[in-house]
């Protein structure tokens, strides 16, 4: 079975444009809707009538993102971590479960992330069957393998190595330089989708990458194609989409600036 990987959102916390910001990046996004970015999340859908739908994270923009993509159901939730920009949209699923499903929705996360989720959304946890994912644990779903790999961010944050019989993709929306064992396991991955929060000066080197750091680490890992995500565009030194696309031309298509709604084949 083939699958489609959809970027629901590609921005860091406050999105682009941020309501309070009038830098060149935010003004570009106000003028050109194609440059707008919501908070990070992805949807993985099995192709065909029996294909299942898995969400990685529930960003605050989730309802608008799912409507934009024509999605009318979810079959499984997996979390990278429990920060608001990756968790805040979970409440949008309460009445989907209560009114449209006959059973709770499966929800998987690390123990620290699951505690954060439960603390924040205690009033609706009856909507979910929860599973703690241990570091390096694999789960199988709809013909794909998802391995939870520790990354350098908040306690219990995972990236996911997603593999089929013919493809491999590593998704790490929030991370600084990868821990050694995680880097070893993703070396040579076909597709790398990784945190590139800062354009120039990295204010949080213990928790995030800059664009250049993401590119450099991806090349060191021998990744086939590198997709930048969790982009602030307006932290440190603002950068427009046009400027960043111009910068990436030197990599001859190996490094890609995705937009919200971009789809990849798995």
pLDDT tens column, 26-41: 999 999 999 999 999 9
Cα-to-chain-centroid distance, residue 204: 19
pLDDT for the residue numbered 49: 82
Mean pLDDT of 157-162: 98
**How many structural domains compose the chain?**
1
Q: Please write the tens of the pLDDT for every residue from 92-149.
A: 999 999 999 989 999 999 999 999 999 999 999 999 999 999 999 999 999 999 999 9
Domain that holds residue 200: 3-265
Per residue in 199-231, pLDDT (tens digit) is: 999 999 999 999 999 999 999 999 999 999 999
Identify the bridge partners of residue 158 per DSSP, sorted by sequence position.
Answer: 150
Instruction: Please give the C-alpha separations between residue 20 and each of 26, 27, 60, 85, 253, in angstroms, as whole numbers.
Output: 9, 11, 17, 17, 33
pLDDT of the residue at 32: 97
What pLDDT score does 235 carry?
Answer: 87
pTM of the model: 0.96
Domain of residue 30, CATH code: 3.60.15.10
Dihedral of CA 63/68/72/78: which sign?
Answer: negative
pLDDT of residue 18: 95
Chain centre distance of CA 123: 26
Once rounded to an integer, what is the mean pLDDT over residues 172-177? 97
Average pLDDT over all residues of the chain = 96
Tokens 């306690």 belong to which residue?
155
Give the percent of the chain with pLDDT over 70. 100
């Amino acid at each position: 079975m083939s699958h489609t990987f959809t970027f629901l959102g590609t921005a860091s916390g406050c999105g682009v444009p941020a309501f309070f910001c009038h830098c060149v990046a935010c003004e570009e996004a106000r003028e050109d809707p194609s440059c707008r970015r919501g908070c990070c999340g992805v949807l993985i859908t099995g192709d065909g009538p029996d294909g299942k739908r898995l969400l990685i994270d529930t960003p605050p923009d989730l309802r608008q993102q799912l409507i934009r993509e024509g999605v009318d159901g979810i079959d499984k939730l997996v979390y990278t971590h429990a920060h608001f920009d990756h968790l805040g949209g979970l409440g949008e699923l309460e009445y989907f479960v209560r009114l449209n499903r006959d059973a709770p929705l499966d929800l998987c996360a690390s123990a620290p992330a699951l505690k954060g989720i439960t603390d924040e959304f205690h009033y609706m946890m009856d909507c979910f069957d929860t599973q703690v994912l241990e570091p390096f644990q694999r789960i199988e779903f709809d013909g794909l393998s998802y391995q939870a790999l520790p990354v350098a961010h908040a306690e219990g944050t995972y990236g996911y190595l997603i593999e089929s019989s013919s493809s491999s993709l590593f998704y790490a929306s929030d991370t600084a330089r990868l821990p050694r064992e995680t880097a070893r396991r993703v070396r040579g991955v076909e597709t790398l989708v990784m945190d590139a929060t800062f354009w120039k000066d990295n204010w949080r080197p213990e928790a995030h990458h800059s664009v250049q750091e993401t590119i450099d680490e991806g090349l060191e890992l021998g990744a086939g194609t590198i997709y930048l995500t969790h982009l602030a565009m307006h932290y440190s030194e603002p950068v427009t989409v046009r400027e960043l696309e111009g910068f990436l031309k030197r990599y001859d298509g190996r490094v890609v600036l995705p937009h919200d709604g971009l789809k990849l084949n798995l």
